[in-house]
Amino acid sequence: MKDNTMLPSARPNQPATPPQREPMKPTPQVAKSISPKPVRSEKAAPTESEIARRAYEIWLAEGQPAGQEQKNWFEAERQLRGQ
């Protein structure tokens, strides 16, 4: 058997209205998380990922020789630092 009891907000003579809320304001944490990546300055050291990518390019250009990983890494660092 169904319960025919009506909730107070569902009564026909009382419209159900949601409570009013203030609009959300951005917090400093939110603003900080959506800020763009900082641009790397010319004097900043290259990242490990950048060095690895350049060392790989050097390795490919040299015909993929075995045993040249350290030499290619140091050469990539030198090139990226502009030395």
* Arithmetic mean of pLDDT, 12-36: 62
pLDDT at 1: 54
Pick from 69, 38, 39, 41: nearest CA to 56? 69
pLDDT at 44: 80
Q: Which residue has the tokens 């003579």?
A: 13
Confidence check: pLDDT of 71 > 90: yes
Token duo for residue 34: 């959506």
Q: What is the DSSP string of 23-51?
A: PP---HHHHHHTSPPPPPPTTSPPPHHHH
User: Residue 20 — pLDDT band, cuts 50, 70, 90?
Assistant: confident
Report domain extents, the chain. Answer: 45-83
Which carries the bigger pLDDT value, residue 63 or residue 35?
Answer: 63
pLDDT at 53: 96
Pairwise CA distance, residues 55 & 44, whole Å: 18
Confidence check: pLDDT of 74 > 80: yes
